[in-house]
Amino acid sequence: MGNNPLLRLEHIGKEYYGNRVLSDISFDINAGEIIGLVGENGAGKSTLLNILFGMPVIASTGGYEGSIQIDGRKVSFTSPNQALAHGIGMVHQEFSLIPGFTAAENILLNREVLNASSMRYIFSERVSTLDREAMNGRARSAIHTLGVNISPDMIVSEMPVGYKQFIEIAREIDRKNTRLLFLDEPTAVLAESEAEILITALKKLAASGIAIVFISHRLSEVKELCGRILVLRDGRLITDQPSYTLSTRQIASLMVGRESVRREETPEVTETVSTETDAPKKKKKIRPALKVEHLWVDMPGETVRDVSFEVMKGEIFGIGGLAGHGKLAIPNGIMGLYPAGGTVKTFGKKLTLNKPRAALGKKMAFVSEDRRGVGLLLDEPLDWNITFTAMQTQGRFLVGIPYIFQMRNDLAMRKEARKFIDQLSIKCTGPSQKAGELSGGNQQKVCLAKAFVLRPDILLICEPTRGIDIGAKTLVLDTLKQYNKENGTTIIITSSELEELRSVCNRIAIVDEGKIAGILPASNPAEDFGMLMMGQVRNEEEGEFSA
Amino acid sequence: MRKIFDIIANNAVPAVFIIISAFAIPLSGYSASYLVQELLTRIGRNSFLILSLLIPIMAGMGLNFGMVLGAMAGQIGLLFICDWGIVGIPGMVLACLIGTPIAIVLGIFCGHVLNRAKGREMVTSYILGFFINGVYQMTVLYLMGWIIPITNPTLLLSRGYGVRNAVSLLGIRGILDNLIPTIITGTQGTAQFVNINGGKSFIMMQLPFLEGSIRIPLATLIVIALFCIFIVWFRKTKLGQDMRAIGQSQSVADSAGIPVNRTRIIAIVISTVLACYGQIIYLQNMGTLNTYNSHDQAGMFSIAALLIGGASVSKATIANVFAGVILFHLMFIVAPVAGKNLIGDAQIGEYFRVFVSYGIIAIALVLHAWRRNREREAARRSLRGNKGDE
Amino acid sequence: MTMFNEYWEIVRTFLDAYGVSYELAGLIVLVLIWLLLFLGRGLSFFRFLMRWYQRLIIVTGLVALGFWLFYVGREHQILLDNKNVNGLKALEQVNVSINGGESAELMPGDRDMRKAVGPEFEVKAEILDDNGEVVSTITKTVKIGCVKNMTISLPALAAGSEDFTLPLK
Amino acid sequence: MIKKFIENAGWPRIIIALFLLALFVAAPFVGVRVDTSLSNTLVRFGMNGVMVLAMIPMVQAGCGLNFGLPLGIIAGLLGATLSIEWNSEILAKLSELGTLYKISWLNDLFLTTWREPIGFASAIIIAVPIAAILGWFYGKLLNRVKGDEMMIATYVGFSSVSFMCIAWLLLPYKHPTMVWGYAGKGLRTTISVEGYWLHVLSDALALDINTENIHLYVPTGMLIFFAFVALIVWIFMKTKTGTAMTAVGSNPEFARASGVNVDRMRTIAVMMSTILGAVGIIVYEQSFGFIQLYMGPFYMALPAVASILLGGASVNKAGILNVIVGTFLFQGILTMTPSVINSYLQTDMSEVIRLIVSNGMILYALTRKVRAGR
């Protein structure tokens, strides 16, 4: 091997449809090193991983720039199997285990130990029987390496979540040639004690010569485990330095910090808005437009447990936080799309939860983050998409006698649709074009139009700019601001992009691990939000960690 | 609570059948030895067909309604040996040899079609059965004797091409069943079977408590036993392991590098080929081939029997197969007579068993879909992991 | 339809010219299908060869088995003919049995049919005189191969001729 | 332009349409009369049209193809048989009504000209509530098994047919034209509707040209009835409920987020399908002349399913136009193949062609890539 590092990246860059997501990433990884890779959602971590693993999505969108070297030899993977063959292992965030199989069967999935069979040439190796003894032995030794005690015969579906994570890692370890292991948020599902065992195990693993790249949002763990920390932000490598030279606060600010970018305009705080910092007296007089108390929502992958906050009339309220921590569940739960509990009051009146109709009846409108899944009727024309909700809940765009016989008024629908097509400049052939044929940005505008048609008092929007290009982004955000100013509508925006929230909102709540970590005025420095997102505030309060 | 519900839901079907049979057997007035004889015959006749359903279930493809494809392939093999006049065990084996490539081709076709219709394999394979039935009829009714040479005039319709509706399989009738003649008799009935099989020697056992005597299709049962061993062995192979993996989670299997689509096709091919053999065994017992109907009911009755044995759309074992054959056919034998003795109308018993076959499949499918939707719900909840626990 | 008939005529003449029975031709077609189905893919050269080699043996074995089954399992119709032929007079009465099965009683001018399975069979003829006394018994093993039907002229058989299948050469 | 048309219509449809066209063109050359063929096609179109319409609500509501059509048919059969069983009672009651209100001319009408239409109407009136009740349960069932509707529908259809086989034997029908003569109980396998409501729609306003050169018969009444039912369905799909139903089929999550009760919409759709099936079979019987009981309705769903797919519908989208085009093409092929192909080839291949075309069409629809999210 000589002096060549195990893995060397040189000037890696990547563009998706003219959208730059990675630029000029260069770093080395040596055998036995543990490297922490941190960054916000959308900082480019997953794209980097996709490139390293030769995911087909990279090649199909035009490949990447720069070069990857392993042991000093240039490589370029076109499929994950090639990466595996070169000794790069990966543990994904979501489990890819077969629930009905035992630990051993999962660890050795598709790498089973086989008895030699005389028929293997006639058919293929697949007709050979499995050597259970040898499989259990190998599984046991892989689990043993991790320093935990799990029986190879245990069925995965009967395991606690923490065990499953160990099985995933054991699977990668069992690969004979694994030299470099990527772990994507391995501790997210683990309890404190399990996480500690994992960290010890990883250190042991690194000592045996396997290099580890550890991706996590738990900065304290990153700092404890990793020798070097790489911070990615906006597709750039911001820093690459030994972890002892950085405090968690510094890491957090490097991740989100955009101190250099001064915000040009602070959104004007209208008089009706009361924040925690100013005018505490006024707060009592003005009834909040939306009051949420002890809300829990059971949304898969985005559960929130106990959320309370208030939104004033006419305010633009932001909800931020990392993906998977539950921010999306709040608006979805309020609108009744997922099982929820707690109390929600609009203008002082209690809202029935778990019934979309009830929320819509209170003049609330919702723009879903899942445009294609929930937001649109892809197979139906635009006028249907725009007016359907208003028709069903408010009885508009209908002719006839209510409750007895009502036909839809296609003419009125088309007229309304045309109005919004002009207003939001939706690019389409007309109101009868199918929604599925539009581009992402225009689909988002259709979703907004659908909400505006309802003439809402409270507008809840999830990820308003996800998957749309820059031009459309500004337009969507401007439209929202304008709508808020003109109609005094209360708007609640949920977004992963902090900067976006800071540019439009009055106040921003940060959700971390299913709870609200804090609510701050948007004018606070980005660093403060970063610390909230990383869960540092809580840790500091609990005295477990001091920077 | 849920556990109790699951136990009931899992075993309700066999339990109901045991109860029905318990009432119907005395009503029918059949003797024990008659029932045992009939059941043995039917086990020999049907279990191979039912066993062929197990492998696609293992691969998560549900009940293979496309097994009629295999049955048709087997019938084509039989038609050829009838035409060529190959009789006895050589005839049967040759029919299998001819049927195999046809079944493989049909199986590959079926597999490709099902891969295009993931998530609704059952309804697709069901319609596919009808579609291939059309092609089969075209082949047998128009092409045979015209493009495909059939020389034996007794096989053809009077117009010169197309195969007759009923083809006698005299040459291979009961040939496997009687290969190793075995008779169990009670003490009284010793003499009466001696001259069967042209005076050939046969294995005879005497059981003192038995009335009458029972002929056992020993060779058929041995073939079935071998097949069971094959399935047990198959489950232990890498291929079987891959199928189990795919059956539980296609996406995980795919990300682990298991060729999902190819493996699914293999599962269907194996099932189709085995159904082909199963149909040949079935018809050698029956002795006549109804060219245009024999395969029709093969799929439905096999599936009903399997489900009655306590299998579900996603899980089936060898024990289910035999429990199913016994319960289903017990009812088949006793229902018409019981119906006649009870209501005075044999027709009702006849319709009753048809109703039961269809009803049982409907209930099994409903239970499966219901349970799956509930499990999906539960899985969603478990996704929450630690975060969800209050 | 006529096109197919022409096509079939060509194949038929070809097959007849080489003395291949149609059934054999059918079997060969099946062999080809078998071969196609066993094509392997995505293997290293050695494994590919190994696989081909072993599969070839298996396929050949199966095909050979098929032919053998065809050979041993074929049922033949043996026509027994007791008529004047080539100057040989029909026998007064003859009892013929094939492979020890049920015997056929033939008077002059009679024809009867018995079935035999397999490539050869044993024919046993008891020749009787006017009084019904057995004059002589002829037992002969006849090789029939794959031919479907065979007519045995009993007078020729009784005369001890080796050429006793009709039509006589 | 042409490419677009082909894309819209889909290859199988075009091939089959061309095939049908070729059959019509070829017909005179093999001695088959085009006018009688056309008449036959029209009659079969009218007979089957309503049953094909029964597919629309369920497809539109996302319940898939209604392989459970036999359930609706059973309701129709019950209506038909009961209308005959009670025929004289109904007429007596109605004429009593006439006497009561001293409108003797009405009384006469009831017993003469209106006798048959009343019989027909009573069949439908009896069948519809039965269908609605069955449909309600059927809908509830299908709501529990989302994702597996088609397979379960098939077997619900089959088991209900075989259940009714027992019921037909046991139900206390008395009417001598319907029960087996020798036993005095149990319904016959086929019951003639002659004298009750045979051709009551077909012959109404029928155009029957029967000269030396031309034999044309157009069952105008039946076609008008079909048009009327189609119009009702069309209007229904344009109402608020109909719109919600379509949205449920198009994207249930969207509908739910818009405050629509998805399960309720699906139940309504299933009920409508069942009712249309019931009406459809009665229309079929009045033209066919017989009520077919026992295993008669067993495979009736397949031609209807194939027809609507042939008309260009997919597993989750169907319209009136699909029904009209599909039924015409399918029934056209059924009429033309036996006559034309048989005269050409001197063999009866129609059954085989029907099997291949109809099941091939269903197979094609099932294996087509459905949009993501399903």
Dmax (CA) for chain D in angstroms is 68
| CA–CA distance, B280 with A221 (Å, rounded to integer) | 66
Cβ atoms of residues A240 and A36 within 8 Å: no
- The candidate with the shortest Cα–Cα distance to A258, out of A528, A463, A495, is A528
With an 8 Å Cβ cutoff, are A101 and B248 in contact?
Answer: yes
With an 8 Å Cβ cutoff, are B249 and A300 in contact?
Answer: no
Q: Which of D147, D155, D351 sits opposite B361 (nearest CB)?
A: D155
- The encoded tokens of residue A101 equal 């199989």
Structural domains present in chain B? 2-378 (1.10.3470)
Q: How wide is the angle at C-alpha D179 spanned by C-alphas D176 and D184, nearest 5°?
A: 85
With an 8 Å Cβ cutoff, are B237 and A130 in contact?
Answer: yes
With an 8 Å Cβ cutoff, are A379 and D256 in contact?
Answer: no
Q: Which residues from B are below 8 Å from A96, CB to CB?
A: 251-252, 255-256
Cβ atoms of residues A326 and A513 within 8 Å: yes
SS (H, E, C) A178-230: CCEEEEECCCCCCCHHHHHHHHHHHHHHHHCCCEEEEECCCHHHHHHHCCEEE
Q: Which residues from D are below 8 Å from A406, CB to CB?
A: 239-240
Closest chain A residue to B255 measured between Cα atoms? A96
With an 8 Å Cβ cutoff, are A356 and D259 in contact?
Answer: yes
- β-pair type (A73-75, A65-70): antiparallel
Which residues, given as ranges, of chain D have pLDDT below 70? 1, 6-9, 345-348, 369-374
Lowest model confidence (mean pLDDT) among A273-287, B194-208, B275-289: A273-287
The answer to whether C50 faces chain A, any CB pair under 8 Å, is yes
The terminus-to-terminus CA distance of chain B in angstroms comes to 22
| CA–CA distance, C10 with D109 (Å, rounded to integer) | 75
The answer to whether A352 faces chain D, any CB pair under 8 Å, is no
With an 8 Å Cβ cutoff, are B85 and C76 in contact?
Answer: yes
Closest chain B residue to D351 measured between Cα atoms? B134
Q: Which residues from B are below 8 Å from D186, CB to CB?
A: 345
Q: Which of A101, A114, A296 sits opposite B238 (nearest CB)?
A: A114
- The candidate with the shortest Cα–Cα distance to B55, out of B63, B43, B44, B47, is B63
pLDDT, one tens digit per residue, over D175-186 is 888 887 777 778
| CA–CA distance, A428 with D268 (Å, rounded to integer) | 34
pLDDT, one tens digit per residue, over D350-374 is 778 878 888 888 888 888 765 433 3
What pLDDT does A543 receive?
A: 41
Cβ atoms of residues A88 and A53 within 8 Å: yes
Q: Which residues from B are below 8 Å from C4, CB to CB?
A: 146-147
- The encoded tokens of residue A98 equal 């077969």
Using 50, 70 and 90 to split pLDDT, how confident is the model at B379? low
Q: Which chains touch B (3 or more CB pairs under 8 A)?
A: A, C, D
With an 8 Å Cβ cutoff, are A110 and B258 in contact?
Answer: yes
Q: Which residues from A are below 8 Å from D247, CB to CB?
A: 377, 380, 384, 388
Distance of CA C148 to the CA centre of its chain: 4
H helix intervals, B29-120:
32-51, 54-58, 67-84, 88-116
Q: Which chains touch C (3 or more CB pairs under 8 A)?
A: A, B
- The candidate with the shortest Cα–Cα distance to A461, out of A332, A346, A367, is A367
Strands annotated E in A349-438: 349-350, 364-367, 398-401, 405-408
Structural domains present in chain A? 1-87+177-259 (3.40.50.300), 96-175 (no CATH), 263-363+456-524 (3.40.50.300), 369-454 (no CATH)
Percentage above 90 pLDDT, chain B: 20
- Tell me the torsion sign for CA atoms A262, A266, A267, A272: positive
Alpha-carbon separation of residue A118 from A360, D37, D142 (angstroms): 68, 65, 50
The answer to whether A252 faces chain D, any CB pair under 8 Å, is no
Q: Which residues from B are below 8 Å from C28, CB to CB?
A: none
Cβ atoms of residues A492 and A458 within 8 Å: yes
| CA–CA distance, D47 with D293 (Å, rounded to integer) | 17
| CA–CA distance, B78 with B172 (Å, rounded to integer) | 9
With an 8 Å Cβ cutoff, are D367 and B131 in contact?
Answer: no
- Domain positions in chain D are 2-367
What pLDDT does D346 receive?
A: 65
The answer to whether B365 faces chain D, any CB pair under 8 Å, is yes
- Mean pLDDT over the full length of chain B: 81
Distance from CA of D237 to the nearest CA of A (A): 9
DSSP string computed for B252-275: HHHHTT--HHHHHHHHHHHHHHHH
Residue A17 CB contacts under 8 Å (≥ 6 apart), including other chains: A61
Q: Which residues from C are below 8 Å from A121, CB to CB?
A: 47, 50-51, 53-55
Cβ atoms of residues B105 and B337 within 8 Å: no
Residues pairing with C110 in the sheet: C82
| SS3 category, D221 | helix
Q: What is the count of residue pairs from B and D with beta carbons less than 8 Å apart?
A: 120
The answer to whether B244 faces chain A, any CB pair under 8 Å, is yes
Using 50, 70 and 90 to split pLDDT, how confident is the model at C40? very low
DSSP string computed for D259-296: T--HHHHHHHHHHHHHHHHHHHHHHHHHHH-EEE-TTT
Closest chain A residue to B258 measured between Cα atoms? A110
| CA–CA distance, D175 with D196 (Å, rounded to integer) | 13
Q: Which of B80, B104, B171 sits opposite C75 (nearest CB)?
A: B171
Q: Which residues from C are below 8 Å from B78, CB to CB?
A: none
What pLDDT does A273 receive?
A: 42
Report the residue of A81, A110, A167 to disrupt the B interface, i.e. the one with the largest count of B CBs within 10 Å. A110
ipTM above 0.90, yes or no: no
Cβ atoms of residues B92 and B175 within 8 Å: yes
Using 50, 70 and 90 to split pLDDT, how confident is the model at C10? low
| CA–CA distance, B223 with A283 (Å, rounded to integer) | 85
Distance from CA of A118 to the nearest CA of C (A): 10
Phi, psi of A110 (to 5 degrees): 65, 10
What is the four-CA torsion angle of D327, D329, D331, D333, rounded to 10 degrees? -160
With an 8 Å Cβ cutoff, are A356 and D258 in contact?
Answer: yes
With an 8 Å Cβ cutoff, are A303 and B390 in contact?
Answer: no
Closest chain A residue to B263 measured between Cα atoms? A126
| CA–CA distance, B365 with D374 (Å, rounded to integer) | 20
Q: What is the count of residue pairs from A and D with beta carbons less than 8 Å apart?
A: 78
Other CB atoms within 10 Å distance of the CB of residue D80: 29
Is the bond into D176 cis (omega within 30 degrees of 0)?
A: no
Q: Which residues from B are below 8 Å from D144, CB to CB?
A: 366, 369-370, 373
| CA–CA distance, D62 with D68 (Å, rounded to integer) | 14
| CA–CA distance, B249 with B256 (Å, rounded to integer) | 11
The answer to whether B258 faces chain A, any CB pair under 8 Å, is yes
| CA–CA distance, B366 with B360 (Å, rounded to integer) | 10
- The encoded tokens of residue D198 equal 């045979």
With an 8 Å Cβ cutoff, are C72 and B90 in contact?
Answer: yes
Cβ atoms of residues A283 and A459 within 8 Å: no
Q: Where on the phi/psi map is residue A2: left (φ > 0), alpha (ψ -120 to 50), or beta?
A: left
Report the residue of A353, A378, A437, A450 to disrupt the D interface, i.e. the one with the largest count of D CBs within 10 Å. A378
Which residues, given as ranges, of chain A have pLDDT below 50? 1, 259-284, 538-547
What is the four-CA torsion angle of A63, A65, A71, A72, rounded to 10 degrees? 130
Q: Summarize chain C as % helix, strand, coil (round to 5).
A: 40, 30, 30
Closest chain A residue to C49 measured between Cα atoms? A121
With an 8 Å Cβ cutoff, are A121 and C47 in contact?
Answer: yes
What pLDDT does B149 receive?
A: 79
- Mean pLDDT over the full length of chain D: 83
Q: Which residues from C are below 8 Å from A124, CB to CB?
A: 40
| CA–CA distance, D60 with D233 (Å, rounded to integer) | 12
With an 8 Å Cβ cutoff, are D150 and B366 in contact?
Answer: no
Q: How wide is the angle at C-alpha B113 spanned by C-alphas B107 and B117, nearest 5°?
A: 135
Amino acid at B340: K
Judge whether residue C96 has pLDDT over 50.
Answer: yes
Q: Which residues from B are below 8 Å from D363, CB to CB?
A: 113, 124, 127-128, 131
| CA–CA distance, D161 with D276 (Å, rounded to integer) | 17
The answer to whether B345 faces chain D, any CB pair under 8 Å, is yes
Cβ atoms of residues A522 and A500 within 8 Å: no
Residue range D2-367 forms a domain whose CATH class is mainly alpha
| SS3 category, A427 | coil
| CA–CA distance, A41 with A34 (Å, rounded to integer) | 22
- The candidate with the shortest Cα–Cα distance to B119, out of B382, B313, B363, is B313
Q: Which of D247, D259, D372 sits opposite A377 (nearest CB)?
A: D247
| SS3 category, A316 | strand
Alpha-carbon separation of residue B183 from A43, A73, B203, B213, B329 (angstroms): 79, 76, 6, 7, 21
Span B100-121, average pLDDT: 89
pLDDT, one tens digit per residue, over B78-99 is 998 888 888 888 889 999 999 9
Q: Which chains touch A (3 or more CB pairs under 8 A)?
A: B, C, D
With an 8 Å Cβ cutoff, are B137 and D366 in contact?
Answer: no
Closest chain C residue to B99 measured between Cα atoms? C30
Span B32-38, average pLDDT: 83
Residue range C75-166 forms a domain whose CATH class is mainly beta
Judge whether residue B211 has pLDDT over 70.
Answer: no
H helix intervals, chain B:
2-28, 32-51, 54-58, 67-84, 88-116, 121-138, 218-236, 238-248, 250-255, 260-286, 296-308, 318-343, 346-383
Closest chain C residue to B269 measured between Cα atoms? C37
